[in-house]
Chains A and B, each alone.
Chain A
Amino acid sequence: MDNTKKKVKIGAAGHAMNAIAFILLTLGSVICVLPFIIIVSGSFTDNTTILREGYSLLPRNITLSAYRTIFKAPQDIFQAYKMTFIYTILGTGIGLMVITMTSYVISRNEFKYRNQVSFLIYFTSIFGGGMLPWYLMYANVLGMKGKMFPIWFPALMSPFLVILMRTFIKGSVPDAITESAKIDGAGHVTIFSRIVLPVLGPGLATVGLFLALGYWNDWYRASMFSVNSKTWTLQFYLYDLLNASTAIKQMSQNSSISTKDLPTESVKMAMAVVATGPVLLFYPFVQKYFVSGITVGAVKG
């Protein structure tokens, strides 16, 4: 955009900086991507080759047998996929609503208790009962073990996402706008749905992506609260597969391949690809909103 000015005065330091930037960023990108390539290669490599020669950057003895094994008896994977989709959609949808409403309220200067409410929300991130009371709350007090609720509900919102959203709303909807709308007779509901929501695109995209990612990548809650594989998430299914326990046995049973002939190593890689693929495909679409949606601010305001 300002090419002309740059030509005028770029200087030796500028050239050096450009060179450093190109080299280091390329290096950084390569380091960040290489492990993915290893996984994808592994998923296409013949299982005996992996066992004999180890993993490599490029696939050798290319075969689709790992994917064929997975999708030979796909009911378990489809179940895990289905559950993950349900958790992700339900959690992200409800979470976005809760976060947006809350952030709107604490972003308004006319709301007297905004700082107190912000602090009550923030406080949960610096103090808590710990892992056990949290678990006992859902499993024993609410009696929710084995149900879907404790897998999606705990990740609905996080203090950090609320503050992120609040900073974004404060930046894109100044108090003057809502005040003048109020003078024109608009209520909070109208202001929120007609004035605030339409400009929240980047904020919603950013927070929504973080929420969705949290749900998609969850294995912890699924492991804590599941009593059988019905409520498993994709990642926990993969985790179980890696620990070579129930899932492998089930798979060999369903696909009538004996456990020892199962291409275990490449199946793990293929599962990793299947479990990560959708998120990575989704990211480029929201990336353009990202930089503008991700400004952070303080708790008080």
Chain B
Amino acid sequence: MKSNGFINNLATKMDKDAGSRKTGLVVSLIASVILFILNLPFASWLVLADPQSMVNSQQLKDEVIATLHMHYSILNIMDFVQRSKIGIIGLFSACLFALCVAADIFFIISAVKIIRNRITDKGLLGLIGTAKVGFILELLLTIGTMILPVFAKHNVHYDLFRPGYAPVVAGIIAVITYFLLKVFEAKEREKYREHGILKEFKKNWVLFLMLVPAFVYLIINNYLPMVGVYFAFTNFNFRDGLYASPYVGFKNFEFFLKADLWHLTKNTLLYNIVFIGLGNILQIFFAILISQVTVKWFKKSSQTLMFMPYFVSYVILKVLVYNLFEYNSGLINGLLTGTGGGKIDFYNTPSYWPYIITFFYMWKGIGYGMVVYLATITGIDTELYEAAKVDGANVFQQIRYITLPHIKPTFIILLLYALGSIMKGQFELFYQMVGNNGVLFGVTDILDTYVYRITTTQPLSIGTGTAAGLYQSLFGLAIVVITNEVVKRKNPDFALF
């Protein structure tokens, strides 16, 4: 409480002089720099407490022991985990490492923002918010660093670490700066009539409550599995299990890089680019056609019929494709022999499959995309068309100058959503259509089918599989973020986020 009073005094003192609002930010800037430096690998975050027991229990070679340090920071702790082969502290340390990197990123962002003096329509609130996140992360990091020695002792049964001086210093700085920022934030909020999360919670607690089920779902299904990317850096074995398998750094990525990376990336990207591009063109084309039809029953029935493939599961699609392309009983070969041609062995000829797969993707998705675009077209004000008609514009001109510009926003939004899965791309489609037919893998293997195959056939490949998945996720994320930035520059209204 006493220190809080001190901070209050400090803050009011600073507030008195001219341009004082920024004084707080300068303090925060200095704290960010100090913490950033403290996070660097020279500071002592963890000290090896009992090297002898460690060496005995891990049976490390002398040349390995020679490379170990006495002091570790969080940024090089993973190096220790790898060399010492103590797998059980790997996941915990990796989480701390991630926290440390995240805190550093926030320090950099907030420093850049402060130096460039980014003041928005809500004053300094944006700046303060970013800075606050950095200090909270740093605080969590210090707490985690304090817990790690306890956790390690619990698992390896001897004193592995004791906390160094750095977490204590960093923790104190983070707490003080955080509360200082809070005081400034309160003043700033008063000025702009904003409120914090507590007041928002008091006001709209029912809304928060309504979000609980969704968040439970997201945490179980999405956010906790994200922690699992750690397995990409381990050499999974059954003796140690998931949590204690040794940390091996980027070895899995090297393996995966040598294996098929370029080939798989190329396949995945090319297929999805064609899917997205051609798919949208066809969907827009048919949506416009259907909007031109005035005969009601025809409009409705063609819409229904073209939507039908969307309801088909991929398993049924497998049946369909098999019916059409099977060598002996397939319909296409039946027609070919019927017309005097020779049979084609589709299932052993890779060159046909990019076309077959693309065709069936289009076939399955056209009705759905068509309806999405049709919904936009029916929303266009009919008076625009009336006016165009009066001015003598024919149907094609109306489409060119009224319909197409109006579906552009929908197109961009759908495009951005589609880009999110550009690296994942239609696992079920490929898996069901091709299955385990190795002859076709050269042209049909995408990242997802590769991961699925290696992990279902080789139980020890959890590391490689996760590495491939992580690569896929990061690549996809980069594509979306870049595209969104480009769209934002051109027209902020069309950007997804």
Interfacial residues, chain A to chain B (CB-CB below 8 A): 2-3, 5-6, 9, 11-14, 16-18, 20-22, 24-26, 28-29, 31-33, 35-36, 38-39, 42, 50-51, 53-57, 97-99, 101-102, 104-105, 108, 110-113, 117-122, 124-134, 136-137, 140-142, 153-154, 156-157, 160, 162, 187-189, 192, 213, 216-220, 235-236, 238-239, 242, 265, 268-269, 272, 275-276, 279-280, 283-284, 287, 290-292, 294-300
Contacts and interface: CB of A to CB of B under 8 A. Distances in A.
Interface in B351-392: 363, 366-367, 371-372, 374-376, 378-379, 382, 386, 389
Interface stretch (B66-74, B260-268, B473-481): B473-481
Given A5-B386, A29-B302, A56-B334, A187 B372 contact: no
Interface residues of B, number: 106
Given A28-B286, A133-B469, A136-B231, A157 B420 contact: no
Contacts of A279: 311
Contacts of A291: 371, 374-375, 378
A289 B312 CA distance: 20
Interface stretch (B27-35, B49-57, B221-229, B273-281): B221-229
A130 B394 contact: no
A291 to B, nearest CB: 5
B8 interface: no
B292 A17 contact: yes
B315 interface: yes
B228 A296 contact: no
B420 A17 contact: no
Contact of A119 (B301, B470, B497): B497
B451 interface: yes
Contacts of B225: 128-130, 133-134, 136-137
B420 A129 contact: no
Nearest to B435: A243
Interface string B202-245: 00101100110110011011111111110100000000001000
A129 B469 contact: yes
A298 B484 CA distance: 11
Contacts of A33: 305, 308
B213 A98 contact: yes
A295 B477 CA distance: 25
6 smallest CB-CB distances across A and B, nearest first, come from A130-B469, A133-B228, A217-B313, A13-B394, A129-B225, A54-B329
Contacts of A125: 417, 420-421
B293 A21 contact: yes
Contact of B313 (A20, A188, A235): A235
Interface centre among B211, B286, B379, B473 (most CB of A within 10 A): B211
B375 A283 contact: no
Given A22-B298, A32-B306, A98-B214, 17 more contacts: A28-B302, A35-B320, A36-B308, A42-B323, A54-B328, A102-B214, A124-B218, A132-B466, A133-B229, A141-B224, A220-B428, A239-B315, A269-B323, A276-B316, A279-B311, A287-B303, A296-B410
